[in-house]
Amino acid sequence: MQVTGRILVVEDDELIGSMLVRALKKAGHKVRYENTPENILDIIVSWSPDIAMLDIKLPGKSGLDILSDIKEQGMKTQVIMLTADDSAETSVKAMKLGAIDYLTKPFNIDEVLMVLAGILEKEKLRDEVSYFRKQCKERTQKEIIGNAPPTLELISQINALAIAGVDSVLLTGESGTGKELIASQLHRLLSKESQAPLIRINCAALPESLLEAELFGHAKGTFTDAQHDKKGLFELADGGCLLLDEIAEMKVELQSKLLRVLEERSIRRVGGHEEIPVSVTVIATTNKDIPKEVENGTFRLDLFYRLNTFLLHVSPLRERQEDIMPLAEYFLKEYNHRYKRSAIKGFSKKSQKLMLAYEWPGNVRELKNIIERLVVLKHPAMVEPRHLPPEISLTGKHGSILQSAGNFILPPEGIDAEELEKSLVAQAMELSGNNQKQAAILLHMKYDTFRYKLKKHGLNR
């Protein structure tokens, strides 16, 4: 079906102008005709033509002057210049000013229609790409929560890969950063069909022989109990995505077979001879340092180069401080809905301050689990410091030496135990709002013992 559009014709020769208008209308275009340059810019603003066909020689103001004004004002209307002068100098000048094409009188109508169709097709494609980019961004931002610079950069990269339609992506990042969420988002954006499969497999969960059979399938008679041909995950994921979780755990011998699939886009079942074509986007994830694995000889360099073409790194939560509270609010809303709770309304300023100061070694997964536990077990009206786990609530002067509740790591330079105790008692009082009983609970002390410590360090005044 031919693309049609809104065409503005500005031509002082009424015979040529009327001929153009008849031909364009017959082809299905909406046409407006003007024979003078007066108010042309106002007409373009109000009527928004896709293309303006301007005669170079107009009474009072030349078509080149109008073209220059259109470009200076940033109007989106494309311009075709019309002239009886076919000299190179004139055409070069028009193109330098921003004309998209140049037609010489007398016109061949078929040629005119072909030029218009080509321009409109490109504009339609540009609009579709722009719309798709916008949709990608909106859909991605609905799934990926946060406004930290690394998060916004990641969203931008995901959208770029979705537009390009890549066939393999490597996701790197610490455990718990949300690589599976990114993989799911890539699947939605890269898959051409809404029902396209996303199949996951953990490369560390199976021994090499079983993993190979899972990925590529096997032919009848390959094993003792192989009574018939079996499709592998590559065949089952055809038309969609295959997520290879923890790909660095895959043995080197199997990595070479994976590389062959990525290069040739076909698989051969274990024990089989037939080449089976597959159209699968491979998304691989790892929390390891792949270049170091290459150095150690546990990861193939050629496979790394193949996957590294499109690499997305998911930053740890400690490097995305701006994401912490938006994620916490999102999980709070999610778990309130899941467990039909409505008691927790949010986080106090003190608890927010502590959450922002915490290192989050377990990343987003740790944050998610903590919020779920708060909703299920505590559900206070507002999350205060005393509701948070000790590893967060004791973040402060000596918080960095607290590995987990009750387990301290002595730094190489040593520490003043009295000063540490005094600091913890003072922080407990601050976090509890000077409630001695609550402060004692925070430090897992008996009330009388805590009062003694308070007096000992001169903190009871």
CA distance 289 to 287: 7
Residue 364, pLDDT > 70, answer: yes
Note whether 178 and 191 are same-domain residues.
Answer: yes
Residue 308 lies in a domain: yes
Q: Containing domain of residue 39, as a range?
A: 6-127
Which residues are CB-neighbours of 114 under 8 A, at least 6 positions away?
none
Average pLDDT, the chain: 84
- Number of Cβ atoms within 10 Å of the Cβ of 300: 20
> pLDDT digits over 134-148, tens only?
555 544 444 678 889
Note whether 169 and 289 are same-domain residues.
Answer: yes
Query: What kind and span of H or E run contains 150?
Result: helix 149-164
Residue 296, pLDDT > 70, answer: yes
Q: How confident is the model at residue 398 (pLDDT cuts 50, 70, 90)?
A: very low
Task: Give first-to-last CA distance, the chain, whole Å.
Answer: 85
Regarding predicted confidence, which is higher, 316 or 396?
316
Residue 180, pLDDT > 90, answer: no
Note whether 294 and 156 are same-domain residues.
Answer: yes
Q: Reply yes or no: is the peptide bond before residue 412 cis, omega within 30 of 0.
A: no
Q: How confident is the model at residue 193 (pLDDT cuts 50, 70, 90)?
A: low
CA distance 48 to 46: 6
Which residues are CB-neighbours of 404 under 8 A, at least 6 positions away?
391
Residue 1, pLDDT > 70, answer: no
> pLDDT digits over 337-349, tens only?
888 877 788 899 9
Note whether 72 and 185 are same-domain residues.
Answer: no
Which residue type sits at 261? V
Note whether 367 and 255 are same-domain residues.
Answer: no
What's 342's domain CATH number? Answer: 1.10.8.60
Q: How confident is the model at residue 57 (pLDDT cuts 50, 70, 90)?
A: confident
Residue 138 lies in a domain: no
Instruction: List, in sequence order, every beta strand (DSSP E) within 203-355.
Output: 241-245, 266-267, 276-277, 281-286, 311-313, 346-347
Residue 344 lies in a domain: yes
Q: What is the mean pLDDT of residues 39-67?
A: 88
Residue 313, pLDDT > 90, answer: yes
Which residues are CB-neighbours of 183 under 8 A, at least 6 positions away?
171, 198, 200, 241, 243, 283, 285
Q: How confident is the model at residue 397 (pLDDT cuts 50, 70, 90)?
A: very low
Note whether 120 and 254 are same-domain residues.
Answer: no
> What is the DSSP code (8-state) at residue 429?
H
Which residues on adjacent β-strands are paired with residue 198? 241
What's 236's domain CATH number? Answer: 3.40.50.300
Residue 346, phi then psi, degrees to nearest 5: 170, -160
Note whether 48 and 151 are same-domain residues.
Answer: no
Residue 390, pLDDT > 80, answer: no
What's 36's domain CATH number? Answer: 3.40.50.2300
Q: What is the pLDDT of residue 424?
A: 85
Tell me the three state secondary structure of residue 335: helix
Residue 404, pLDDT > 80, answer: no
Using alpha carbons only, what angle is made at residue 261 by residues 259 and 267, rounded to the nearest 5 degrees? Answer: 145
